[in-house]
Structure 1
């Protein structure tokens, strides 16, 4: 089985307000034949509703990983990360910051708030697609996270 083909497809939550980056991420999943389901929300408040299964997201699946942009409207990525790591039911979900910010302050803050990784989005579309593929391969095929509720 190829590294990007997982036995049990997982749900991935992408929190991204840039439509171009959403399109590239979807293209990367399609190109790599990634079987996981990608759920997209465009701001931090929606991300928290999805994760807490509130409102329109009352039947949302628990994602196996969250790909979180740092700079978001309404509720910023660092605020989402902080809330996820303060919640005992959510803190076991790996959160990867996938952002355009190269700020050392943002990197340090993300790790202090519990980010599992911090990746700067490549500007080149082909490199961006390769980054998404590698990220999925590691976090959903190679790496292991605790089962929900543990």
Structure 2
């Protein structure tokens, strides 16, 4: 994980690297702004399609120095290499299979579609549509991350 020199009591005390795989530039901007404003310390790295996501994860090409993310926010409907193909590769390739993945769904149907391909993510969260919903979304991601950190510290 990335290190952070300054952390206050409201932060987790340790930054996380988040890979956002999102084709919509407007949504990417909203995600980045809301994460920046949240108390969850993080570095958000954004890519727009599945090929870029896999290049980032395998540290290929322009992503040769990319950090391995702690968490991936994955839109399943991507141009080119789909989000489901990315998820399949993640779940079938150590050590990538250890990265936590939240699939961003537009509805309950989206979760069913991903699962119908025999794939499982760590979590499914409904993708915010309105700007106000992004605050709730960031809280859901923060709660998910707190649960992971708590479970790992209990081991």
**TM-score, normalised with respect to structure 2:** 0.82
Equivalences for residues 80-119 of structure 1 within 5 A:
80-103=86-109, 105-109=112-116, 112-119=118-125
The one of the two structures with greater contact order (alpha-carbon pairs below 8 A, sep at least 6) is 1
Tell me the matched-pair count. 142
CA contact (8 A) 2:76 2:114 kept: no
Distance in 1, matches of 2:135 and 2:81, equals: 26
Which SS does the other structure have where 1:34 is aligned? Answer: coil
Distance in 2, matches of 1:38 and 1:133, equals: 15
Equivalences for residues 53-92 of structure 1 within 5 A:
53-92=59-98
The yes-or-no answer on 1:140 pairing with 2:151 is no
Which SS does the other structure have where 2:91 is aligned? Answer: helix
Which SS does the other structure have where 1:143 is aligned? Answer: helix
TM-aligned CA deviation for residue 109 of structure 1: 3.2
**TM-score, normalised with respect to structure 1:** 0.85
Question: Given the superposition, is the C-alpha separation of residues 101 and 45 from structure 1 closer, same or farther in structure 2, using an over 3 Å criterion?
Answer: farther
Gaps of 5+ in 2: 1-8
Q: 1:37 aligns with which of 31, 35, 43?
A: 43
Gaps of 5+ in 1: none
**1:49-74 per-position Cα deviation (integer Å, ceiling 9, x unaligned):** 10011111111101000000010011
Pick which of 8-17 and 120-129 moved more.
120-129
